[in-house]
Structures are given as C-alpha cells and as structure tokens.
Structure 1
C-alpha cells in the first residue's frame, strides 16, 4: 500500500514513517506539513492510505475532510480523542490513532485499511471477520460486540441497534451501518431492518422471529435471505 502523511509537526511525520517502515507492504510516498499541499497532490495522484493529523493551524483535518472531493481511506492521528469522534462522521475515516502512537495499535489500524481495500477489490478470502465496531453516541465512541447485535432498525434520522445487553440509539443511516457489518453475519431484510442471521429462531412467509421480535422481510429481500441461509 502507498500512503502519505499530513501533519504539521515534523517529529510526528518522522514517527509515522518509522512505524510504516516496520509494516510489510506499506510505503510512504510523500509527506506534507499542511493539508492544502496534500489536496493538490491528491488531485493528481492516487494513494491507498492517508495519515491525517486533525489538529493543524489554519487548515485542519476537518477542513481537509470537508474539502477533498475524492474517495480516500484515512487514518486520523490526534492527541485528543474528541476530535476523532467529530471526524468519524465522514465515511473515509477508517480508524484513528492517539498520539503517542504505539506499533501494535498502528499495525491494527493499517490492517483495517487493508481489509477495506480487499473488500473493495473483491478479495475477501484472507480477511478476518471483525468482532466489534464503533458508533458515535453523544460525542463518545462506543464499542459494540457484533455478535451481541440481533436487530438494527431505522427510525427516521436515527437507528436503533438492539443487542443482548442494551439498545443504542445512533444518529446515522442504515446504509452507513450496513457498510461496517460483515456480510456473513448480517443481512438487510427490509428497508428499515438489518438482522443478525445467527439470531433467527423462526421464518414465516414475510417475517422472521428473532428473540421475541417479529421482523418484516420485504418481498424483494426474501430470496436474499433464503440464499444467505442456504435454503434454496
């Protein structure tokens, strides 16, 4: 993977380059002390990954995210997790790293990007299914165990993630959440519902029973459900 670094601090750029050198198949092709220079570069060049510092003078990471008009895979670097939470509203943010950055956490973030790129290119054989993901609730990143989720329901501008432990109300769309979920475990069965197929108790003509909840299955999604469960 080719990557660039955007950070106004030279020391921070040196650290990321050093960490990158310890990750196989990760190459730093350029570095920038300000985001405007980086945007000019990205308008003319393709990269697999961007390490983006959030807190920069004049034109910060959020300004970069609002301005860039091409799809990117970005790992945010910051000293303040509150900035990371704000940036997670953008689909291009794959992960964030808190400074000072440690190698194991750095490697994990890079692996997430590799997984996203593999899915985009249709190469999913070597991807390990993740066990959890993060949602933004009241400016906090909350980790949710994927296997504990049984129903995700759209409610206007919000979604209700129902788990074994509790419900989470998140300001998001079903489409955005669906993109974060492994296809092997979750399926959208209705315009308002995503279900964990492992939690299905019973299937009727146009609905499934999960726990004590009856979830509607739209006519167009019925065949997808049957294929997913290998019932055709």
Structure 2
C-alpha cells in the first residue's frame, strides 16, 4: 500500500477524492460536521473504504454500502489491521479479471457514441485511451477528444479485450498505443496514465518482453 494523502478536514478530502482516483481510503465514522456515511454519499465515485470507529453499533449500517470493504473497531491491533489489508487486496484482486478482460466477444471494429443527438463513429484502432471524470468519460483518439455522459464500466463492456486494458480505476488504454512504461505509469500518445498495483500484473503479463 502507498499512502497518498491524509486529511483532518472532510471538505478537503472530498475535493481531493472527486478530482483524483484512489483505490482505498481509511475513513473514521466520526468527523467534525460529518458522519462517515454522509461523507461517502458526497463522493461522485467512491473508492473501496475501510471504516474505523470506536463504536460497534454502526456495523450493520456500514455493510449496506457496497464500497465498504471492512469495519475496524478502535483500538485496532496490528493483527486485525493486517487482516483488513489482506481482505482489501483480495477484494481488489477479485475485481481485476473482470476489469482486465472486458468483452472478448465484441464484434466489429468500431462503436458509436451519442453527442448532442449526433451518433459519432469511433474506430477501435484510433482510440488511445478513455478516462473517467465523475459522471462523464473522456475518449481520446489519435485526432480528437470526446466527452460522453457514461460510466467507464459501460464502455469497457463494449471494447475488445484483445485491444484494450483497464490499468487504473479511471483509465482504459489501447494496448497497441503504448509508447513507454516507467514505474507506475504508461505513456499513451502524449498522455501519462497511472497504473494501479492491482492492474499492473495483467499489464506485465500481456507485454511481449525480451
């Protein structure tokens, strides 16, 4: 796990999470002016969450939220924390094959997107990457960029897995458009795309390495 940020102010955390893609957050239920559940509901696309609290009474409500992976009661022992991390990793790993494989049965070489009541044809081999931004996705091709009101999951299901790979919860890339890979990022055209740890093994598996 890599610690990206820490926040003591809920509004600062909300602003950060709505602009950045994070795989997991540890969230205290009790915050000044907010409950942890209120906090989750303000997020456009919440990541996986581990709740922390000194009160066991919230456990039933917590498990009504699909994004909540675990529930830690303070004081948290090292052993319990390690078990929680294993649980999180297993959850992310179970999700990875679905994300990576996409739609092997997709026929054809193109798809259509609806923009301002116009249907625009996009050829798969011209798409460089697709990025989720809140309720929208941005599709970058070799020549243009299109903004479409759609979840990333919907377009992922229409893409051929032989050509496309989700490398981050907010990014799908065209595998044939990769120029360079360095550490935890990949260069697609002129765009640097982050690679999440959970999706990196699939990316490396598909590379034709010397």
- With normalisation by structure 1, the TM-score equals 0.44
If asked which structure has higher relative contact order (CA below 8 Å, sep 6+), I would say: 2
